[in-house]
Amino acid sequence: MTPDLSAARVPEAGTPAAREKLDSNARLTLLLAVLINMLDGLDIMIVAYVAPSVSRDFQLDPRQLGMVLSAGLVGMMAGGLLLTPLGDRFGRRMLSLLSLGLMTLGTLVTALSVDPVTFGIGRAIAGLGIGAILSTVATLVSEVVPVDRRPWAMGLSLGGYTFGAMLTGLVGSVIIPIYGWQRMLQAAALLNVVMFGVTYFLLPESRSFAARMLSIAEGRSAPVTAFFSAVPALFRDGRWRSTLLIWLAIFFGMQSVYFATNWIPQLVSYISKNPSLPFVAGMLYSAGGLTGQLLYGGLGKRFSVRTLLIVLMPMAGVMLVVFGRSETVVGIMAAIFFLGVILQGGFTGFYVIAAEIYSTDMRSAGLGWAIGIGRGGGILGPLVAGFLISAGMSTAGLAAVFAVPLVIAGVLGWSIRTVTDCQ
């Protein structure tokens, strides 16, 4: 029996339904998406800010630190691959709560760790939740806003991530030097608990998902795809090309994104003896990302997602090279800010295009697997950077190496000729 998804379909761009204003349900969901992504930004970036202190306390060299940093990314990849299909079976709300619970537990374990192994285990547990929450929130946002407003809504919700990361740097620059990295992680765990409660009481279920469940209950649609059949479904009905391209594009892009996210504060700490400068660098990168993601909404109204990807990703590669070759503090900080603007703003396009490839019955699994596969690049990036730094490679050399995946990602994103080629 072929599923009847008419009740669950999101309106096509350009239709009257696609131009509807946001209702109260959509506004509440979008607000909570921003708040959850703020917490996500905190949970991801906090490890970059505590890394110098953790490295010093546990006496880790760059290679060992890179392995500890990648433990969280392994968890993120597993969360994206294993947990997100649950969102298509049990709902976006349930998966959001599960993800927040894992983030809370993992952050608490990390805060209480007394050795690098326990620290890595905690980051891996938190990573499971982080890996699922990003795609779940992106799925929710894509399903509650009109299609023509998706670039704006996705940019706004992802802006919460970078704002949270920026606040983490601001607060961390005060807490970590005075109270230590453990207190910073304990505060993060407390915020996770608060956000779990807020989400439990306020987050509504996606209407598209609810409509599909009603259709199944009334016998108008086939039951939800079995867990182990979720991935093969992403390749059926002409979706194979789009699926492969988005997987590869995000994989290459995240190599450089997570290199920048995890290593820029640490690289700045190697350049300058000023202990506050790594925090300033991290905050500038996050501020640039917030600016870029908010600007992306306006650009998305004027240019196609493909056009923005092929222009902005190579531009981000150029800016990364500029950062690597800058010799003054002012030049380095300016390059970091504009790298954040171009890279994080442009990367929003991958989430927009991924959400449009898949229908409601497989959207959570589709985004989750695209981002989960991409996390593999996120694991590879910091690991390779750690080995290259240990081998003596300069910052300029590192920047050049990680500029290449951005160009590849832009070309792959542009090669997704249309988001409807799977239909």
Res. 130 pLDDT band, cuts 50 70 90: very high
CA distance 48 to 44: 8
Q: Please check whether residue 7 lies inside any domain of the structure.
A: no
pLDDT value at position 15? 41
Query: Is 1 domain-assigned?
Result: no
| CA 353 to chain CA mean position, Å | 14
What band does 1 get if pLDDT is binned at 50, 70 and 90?
A: very low
pLDDT band at 417 (very low <50, low <70, confident <90, very high): low
Q: Residue 8 domain-assigned?
A: no
**Range in 33-47, 53-67, 134-148, 224-238 the model is least confident about:** 224-238
Work out the pLDDT band at 17, boundaries 50, 70, 90.
very low
Report the CATH number at residue 110. Answer: 1.20.1250.20
- Mean pLDDT over the full length of the chain: 85
In a domain, residue 290? The reply is yes
- Judge contact between 47 and 66, C-beta under 8 A: no
Domain that holds residue 173: 17-414
Residue 277 belongs to some domain of the structure: yes
Backbone angles phi, psi at 155, to 5 degrees: -65, -40
421 domain residue, yes or no: no
Contact 280, 330 (CB under 8 A): no
pTM of the model: 0.79
**Any idea what DSSP says for residue 80?**
I
Residue 220's pLDDT is 67
pLDDT band at 62 (very low <50, low <70, confident <90, very high): confident
Which whole number is the average pLDDT over 176-191? 94
Q: pLDDT value at position 421?
A: 43
Q: Is 115 exposed, middle or buried (0-12, 13-18, 19+ CB in 10 A)?
A: exposed
Question: What confidence tens digit (pLDDT) does each residue in 379-399 have?
Answer: 888 889 888 988 889 889 999
Residue 420 pLDDT exceeds 60: no
pLDDT of residue 246: 95
Q: Which of 46-60, 267-281, 283-297 has the lowest mean pLDDT?
A: 267-281
Amino acid symbol at 152: W
Whether the per-residue pLDDT at 225 is higher than 70: the answer is no
In a domain, 6, yes or no: no
In the structure, what pLDDT confidence band is assigned to residue 229 with cuts at 50, 70 and 90? low
Q: Quick one: pLDDT at residue 198?
A: 96
How far is residue 279's CA from residue 264's CA, in Å, rounded to a whole number?
10
Residue 360: pLDDT band (50, 70, 90) is confident
Domain count, the chain: 1
For the four alpha carbons of 326, 52, 255 and 86, in that order, the dihedral sign comes to: negative
With the C-alpha atoms ordered 347, 348, 350, 351, is the resulting torsion angle positive or negative? positive
Contacts of 203 (CB under 8 A, 6+ apart): 28, 29, 32, 93, 96
Does a structural domain hold residue 10? no
Pair 292, 339: CB distance under 8 Å: no
